[in-house]
Structure 1
Amino acid sequence: MAEPRKQGLIAHGVVAQNRKARHDYTIRETVEAGLVLKGPEVKSLRHGRATLSEAWAGERDGELWLFNAYIPEYQGGVLSRFEPRAPRKLLLHRKQLRQLIGAVTREGATLVPLQIHFNERGRAKVLLGLAEGRKKADKRAAIRERDWQREKARLLRARG
């Protein structure tokens, strides 16, 4: 299904995805968090120009932050400039925040941003995955399993 757009802008839907995260990590659970942005950052996101490939989430001063997410400067004539890779605060309920920070500190899990999207109300949200890193052999096994499922579906379609 195509994303609804207005004059080249994304009204709601996925803005950026971290496709490699599902390959590099085993995602145990996902949590949606709000994202604190400035006006020009929102405009840049609405143009669909963001990258999450090297981004990660972590704790600083008891709060959760999104680090190294690339949101380029908005080129629409706005005078206020911002740092494209600046840390951005994530908004969560206290209980969710405590659970995620606890999982990261106790279990050694990683918080990986999976996607940035706009919800129906037009708010920027980040889908965070509580993940465990995969070893090289695990990645190969996952690729093998995915290829086998694809081949099996192809054979069943061809058979009738």
Structure 2
Amino acid sequence: MQIALLPYLDEHATVIEAETDDVWRGLAETLDRSFSRPGMAGYTRLVGCADCAASGPRPLAEGSTYPGWRAVASVPGRELVLQGRHRFASYALIFRIERIGPRRSRLRAESRAAFPGRAGRLYRRLVIGTGGHVVGMRRLLSAIRRRSE
């Protein structure tokens, strides 16, 4: 599914006291660490993700994968677009980095997803309705900020 066709869920942002290249490196390292945790590959197989293992070029480039995600666009220091799908959802996470001053950057993370069918609606309720997605995104952005600074 094209990312532009996926319904918008939300966007989270944080200001980071670092240059955009440092934020890019922190983003890549944090995603590697977060998405490669023990159990993640098992979970992605359980829900039927298209990508269940980390592979492809590092540093991040188009075609790089994490369990549950595939990089479909990568502009180092500026934007990373991840996309994934499984039995209950098709989804995307778009990271954008912008310089807002000397050694200051803003990192934004836009989430998009479609949850088709009855099982998809239940999955949405479990992930989005409980607030788990928001908590996860805030933790992820905080980890990127700490690693980048």
Q: Same fold per TM (> 0.5)?
A: no
- Give the TM-score normalised by structure 1: 0.27
Q: By percentage of residues, which structure has more helix?
A: 2
- Give the TM-score normalised by structure 2: 0.28
Bigger-Rg structure (1/2): 1
